[in-house]
Amino acid sequence: MIFAVPLYDDNPTVRPPVVTYFLIGLCTGAFLWQLGQNEHRIVFTYGMIPAELFGFWHPPRLYQVLPAWVKILTSMFLHGGWLHLLGNMLYLWIFGNNIEDVLGRGRYLVVYLSCGAVAALAQAFSSPYSHIPMVGASGAIAGVLGGYLLLYPSANVHCFVWIVIFFRIVNVPAWTMLGLWFAVQLISGLSVASGTPGVAFWAHVGGFATGLILVSILRPSGVPLLQPPRSRIFASAPPSAFRSPRARYRGSVPPAGRRPTRPPSPWG
């Protein structure tokens, strides 16, 4: 048996990721609220339904609480189960803080919501007559992953790897993890028949591509793309070796240090 899960990256930040924490809290709070509701009613009332969005179908009047276009936003904060929520929040926690730190809180929130909206539209256009509701933050988070890959492709992500009875922490470069993830989403989207229930692969592809574009445009001047590695990739160690804070924060990219001052901006 082989099991692997990312734990954290070694890419330091300057400012606390307030928006990232807020988004995690909002998604978690929404999911806890969902647990006390009728699941079918929630996803059809607040989930994005392609056929409804394009006017090809309308849900029963009981579910027509919001305009169809508003559900593009509300669907980003709902999830289909604990694993769906925890997986999304883990990736947002690992990679979102660095994008927020670089862009500033205002720009970061714009990128996050824009990627989520484009992701929903990409999924809708891939199956415009589908009556299946789409929920989840993964399209917006895919945009965060795209931006991270553009800025920090060589940053190491510490992954917990379990192979039968062996446990290791392995440094995996972001370009390997995120590049492979995107390739799987693209191939799966091309392979799965349109309208098939399950993972919204085209939402992931659309969000990821949007993140690449927006981060390249909105990043502050002086922030380089494709920053180089600073430590050995694919190094491994037993989990006990990473208990020390010094070991945990030994970076694969340069320490953030003092950020160059920028003129005041309404974007944060």
Query: Residues with catalytic annotation?
Result: 138, 204
Strand partners of residue 8: 158
HSE on the CB side for 241, CA within 13 Å? 12
Of the candidates 138, 118, 144, 110, which has an alpha carbon nearest to the alpha carbon of residue 204?
Answer: 138
Residue 193: both structure tokens together? 């028949």
